[in-house]
């Protein structure tokens, strides 16, 4: 079954701790993305990667970090520098090289609560 896996579904952390959210895809997609979803604000892009070992900041990258060491994996670390980390985080992937259409496929999301 092809798709995107995010784990865990719910995550709780204390303020001041870094936390890493997992994202794995077996769709053989080149590009992967991390979004943050807050009520009434749509999806805001945190980081994206169009190729292994390369990634770019999105609109709200401050306080987050990523790595892309393997094509299928794109973990997101929420650092203690992120001022308002409690949110729903979505991972997505898409074709990129030679693509005709750039639709993105989404994982189930991770709801992070920081207290």
| Dihedral over alpha carbons 28, 25, 36, 40 (to 10 degrees) | 80
Strand 76-78 and strand 87-94: the pairing is: unpaired
Q: Which of 5, 11, 13, 45 binds another protein (CB under 8 A)?
A: 45
Looking at the Cβ atoms of 16 and 39, the one nearer to another protein is 39
Contact pattern from residue 3 through residue 42 relative to another protein, giving x for each residue in contact according to CB under 8 A and a dash for the rest? ----------------------------x-x------xxx
Looking at the Cβ atoms of 16 and 40, the one nearer to another protein is 40
Binding segment for another protein (CB under 8 A), chosen from 16-24, 62-70, 74-82, 104-112, is 104-112
* CA-to-CA separations, 62 to 43, 59, 74, 80, 96, in angstroms, rounded: 16, 9, 17, 11, 25
Looking at the Cβ atoms of 38 and 62, the one nearer to another protein is 38
Q: Kindly state the smallest distance separating residue 27's Cβ from another protein, in Å.
A: 13
Beta carbons within 10 angstroms of residue 71's beta carbon: 17
CA angle 31, 78, 48 (to 5 degrees): 15
Told to check if 100 binds another protein by CB under 8 A, we report: yes
78, β-bridge pairs: 19, 64
Write out the residues near another protein by the rule CB under 8 A: 31, 33, 40-45, 48, 50, 58, 90, 92, 96, 100-109
């Amino acid at each position: 079954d092809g798709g995107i896996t995010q784990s865990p579904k719910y995550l709780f952390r204390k303020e001041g701790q870094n936390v890493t959210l997992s994202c794995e895809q077996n769709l053989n997609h080149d590009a992967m993305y991390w979004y943050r979803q807050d009520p009434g604000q749509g999806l805001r892009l945190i980081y994206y990667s169009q190729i292994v070992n390369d990634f770019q900041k999105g609109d709200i990258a401050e306080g987050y970090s990523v790595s892309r060491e393997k094509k299928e994996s794109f973990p997101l670390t929420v650092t203690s520098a992120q001022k308002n980390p409690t949110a729903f985080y979505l991972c997505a992937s898409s074709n990129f090289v030679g693509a005709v259409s750039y639709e993105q496929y989404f994982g189930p999301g991770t709801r992070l609560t920081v207290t």
